[in-house]
Structure 1
Amino acid sequence: MTVVVLDRPPATGALPYAEWLAGSGRDLVLLTGTPGPRPGFTEVHVMARYAVTAAVETTVLALARRSPVTAVVALDPADQLRAGALRDLLGVPGQSRDTARLLLDPIASADVLRRSGIPVVRRAEVRRVLDLYRYGHEWGYPLVVRRRRAAGRRVLAVLEDEAALRSFVRGGLTSGRAGSVPDLTVEPPCPGARHVGPGLAVTDAALAALPVEPGHPRVVEAVRADGDWLIDGVRYEPAEDPRAQVRAQVSSAGLALEGI
């Protein structure tokens, strides 16, 4: 039986996973993009272009054909999405892909909160140039265009008017790869006061409405707009103690660990 650790560089670095998972009674297999000695693992697979290669997933599936995978550990948000998909496919307990997506995709988390009656900021996905013109007409300008799933959700443009929009979309929105779809969102600016974490009725309600998964801490952020508090985002919050987080992910899969 096998515990798989997904280690995306450089966010997590060379953490002592094997030391933290001592006493699991399972083979420990590391998939990483960072070369170097990793004592304590049964196998270490170093992958070129780790962030984008499908070899991460196919390697885990090959491992599962040899020995049952009993837990998947991931700290980076993008790896948590991968881990959730693998758990779903292999029937491993723990955070699912859909739950992991809520911490990475602001459109998905807003949909869940809105269905629970929790007010959220105006934000929409952008899949084509026409979407920007549509929201410029419905919401007015300025508009903020951001990366949808990237860490930090970097601002790509602030469109002050339709002329700025035309300049921004000149040449299209995709990377030029065949079949690629823009990974963008659009929203009006929200310059009001902000609150992170519990302590407001709206953030407490949002935290209660979101699935709770051991080893996957999350935080919500609210912004004050037109006199009301609105949820502006839900995101993964790295734990102060990654050891406890790693061990919680394994324990939530039903494995006992020494010292827990």
Structure 2
Amino acid sequence: MVELTPALPRQSGRRVAVLSKKPLATYRYDRWLSHADAEVVLFAEDTPAARAFVKSAQHSYPTVPRLFAEWKRNRAVDEALCAEHDRRPFDRIVALSECDVVRAAELRAHLGVPGQSLESATAFRDKSVMKSLARRAGLRVPDHRPVESVSDLMDFADSHPGGVVVKPVDGSGAVDITVLHSRSEIETWMHTRALTSDDPTDYLVEEWVEAPMLSVDGLMRSGKVAAVMVGSYTTTCLRSLVDLEPHGILLLDPDDPRVAAARAYLTRLLRALPAAAETMSFHCELFDHPRYGPMLCEIACRTGGGNVNSMARASLGIDLEQASCLGQAGCAVPVARALPDPRRRYGDLVLPRSPRQLPDGLECDLPGVVRFTARHDDRALDRPQRAAKVSDYVADALLTADDHAGVRRVYDSVIAWLDEHLPPNSGKGS
């Protein structure tokens, strides 16, 4: 991972705990925090790649990183961090993965460590909370409500004949999102999820919004935008998963009216949510409603997936992950460029895993393709043959051109090129 965040003055020594579900070979917290004279104690997910990294001589962590299986559900992670804090207190706790946002906030509250509060973390993680706060601030959001019982869902669906969407309140990557258009579909969904008549659930139901999607990404601090770029999705993440077809984000031209509208909405949204004082990255998805303009889908205090960070490095000159790590560690993060380079547009493309396996050694050298990466797909025969979340992709590309229309042409050329190199069976519905 290229480090492009501006060089910082050396800070006084501090002790920083890092929670990481990220690949350790590319997320070099030890290097990122070296300027702070920080003692970095790493708690990370146990994977073959992580074990190989820890055994190598590549890293400069003062203590051996501690690895944990079943990362998301393993409370031994929290216990180990608390025990280490009791031995010698931590000054900060850093977490870059969305699944660790609330966990890190809970640990800060329990140990009295400064940083993002549990109230703030919850607002950026729980879709019901974030949308209620946005609506209270006068921002347009889809009509929604928590699914606290089967009758709640049925009543809400009856009042929204155009269809509803059911999703986990803390979901990400379009996982477990279902669009329901009829009572029979709702009843089938409830039966599949084994919902009882009166038990509360962890789902949110909202009205179906038929609109293109915008991606708004960058850095925030103290409830204000520090750096931002706005792009349009080529299709929704949910549609990409259902059809097992590529999707991407293409940055918009500076004078595109959607850019100003999205930035204005984001500014008001960050004021409405409990703010962390530290610099953190964000990924916001807005419906671009043809009648009402921007409407909140969701916002998260983490870097967007796919090639969002690569686009930020190219367009803003900022590594969002490195900047967020430094900010959460209590370091000042100066921003040299708050808006994208007006001379170039960037975009990305990701191809979900499907029965259409890529040929070995596939390379793409089309004009406008900065980088194309095909991942070796050595899945077992008993593994599902389709992506379950948007981060499960077998190829991705970083694209560039002079303007948005040009990036769109590059994107379309890569789609046509992929169709030539992939087997004809799309695997839709498999």
Q: TM-score, normalised by structure 2?
A: 0.52
- Quick one: higher RCO (CA 8 Å, sep 6+), 1 or 2? 1
Report the equivalent of 1:257: none
Give per-residue Cα distances to partners, 1:181-225, cap 9 Å, x unaligned: 633221221112444436214333223333254342224333244
Q: Which residue of 2 aligns with 1:125?
A: 146
Letter in 1 for 2:328: Q
User: Which range is displaced more, 158-167 or 71-80?
Assistant: 158-167
C-alpha distance in 2, partners of 1:138/1:156? 20
Following superposition, the deviation at residue 65 of structure 1 comes to: 0.9
The structure whose Rg is larger is 2
Superposed CA offset, 1:35-60 (max 9, x none): 23343222421111111100111111
Partner of 2:270: 207
Tell me, yes or no, if structure 1 residue 24 matches structure 2 residue 89: no
What secondary structure, in the 3-state scheme, does the structure 2 residue paired with 1:221 have? strand
Report the secondary structure of 1:140's partner residue.
Answer: coil
1:3 CA drift (Å): 1.2
Q: Percent of counterpart pairs with the same letter?
A: 23
Partner of 2:159: 138
Q: How far did residue 14 of structure 1 move?
A: 4.8
Cα distance between partner residues in 1 of 2:285 and 2:74: 32
Give the root-mean-square deviation of aligned CA atoms: 2.7
Match of 1:7 in 2: 20
Q: Secondary structure at the match of 2:134?
A: helix
Structure 1 residue runs without a partner (length 5+): 255-260
In 2, Cα distance between the equivalents of 1:226 and 1:15? 40
CA shift for structure 1 position 18: 1.0
User: Does 2:329 match 1:250?
Assistant: yes
Determine if the alignment matches structure 1 residue 147 to structure 2 residue 175: no
Task: Report what 1:191 is aligned to.
Answer: 210
Q: Distance in 2 between matches of 1:14 and 1:47?
A: 19
Contact 1:144 1:155 in 2 (8 A): no
CA contact (8 A) 1:145 1:186 kept: yes
C-alpha spacing 1:124/1:92, structure 2 compared with 1 (3 Å): same
Matches within 5 A, 1:1-260: 2-9=15-22, 14-34=26-46, 35-38=51-54, 39-41=59-61, 42-154=63-175, 156-170=177-191, 172-173=193-194, 182-197=201-216, 199-200=260-261, 201-210=264-273, 211-225=275-289, 227-229=291-293, 230-238=295-303, 240=312, 241=319, 242-252=321-331
| Bigger mean CA offset, 223-232 vs 1-10 | 223-232
- 5+ long unaligned stretches in structure 2: 1-13, 217-258, 304-308, 313-318, 333-430
Report the Cα offset of residue 113 of structure 1: 1.3
Moved more, 51-60 or 188-197: 188-197
Partners of 1:141 and 1:159 within 8 A in 2? no
The answer on whether the counterparts of 1:173 and 1:182 sit within 8 Å (CA) in structure 2 is no
- More displaced, 69-78 or 240-249? 240-249
SS in 2 for 1:100: helix
Deviation at 1:168, TM superposition (A): 1.6
In structure 2, distance between residues paired with 1:65 and 1:212: 25
Q: How many residues align?
A: 248
Alignment partners' CA distance in 2, 1:232 and 1:117: 15
Amino acid at match of 2:21: R
Q: Quick one: structure 1 residues 171 and 78, their matched pair in 2 at CA, closer, same or farther if it must change by over 3 Å?
A: closer
Give structure 1 regions of 4+ aligned residues with deviation exceeding 6 angstroms.
Answer: none
Q: CA, structure 1 residues 9+127, in 2 after alignment: closer, same or farther (shift >3 Å)? A: farther
The range that moved more, 81-90 or 131-140, is: 131-140
Partners of 1:7 and 1:152 in 2: CA distance: 18
With 124-133 and 202-211 compared, the bigger mean Cα shift is at 202-211
Alpha carbons 2:162, 2:208 under 8 Å: kept:
no
Corresponding residue number in structure 2 for 1:258: none
Q: Distance between the aligned counterparts of 1:92 and 1:171, measured in 2? A: 42
Shift in alpha-carbon separation, 1:152–1:69, aligned structure 2, 3 A? same
Matched position secondary structure for 1:101: helix
In 2, distance between residues paired with 1:206 and 1:53? 33
- Superposed displacement of residue 68, structure 1: 0.9
TM-score (structure 1 length as normaliser)? 0.83
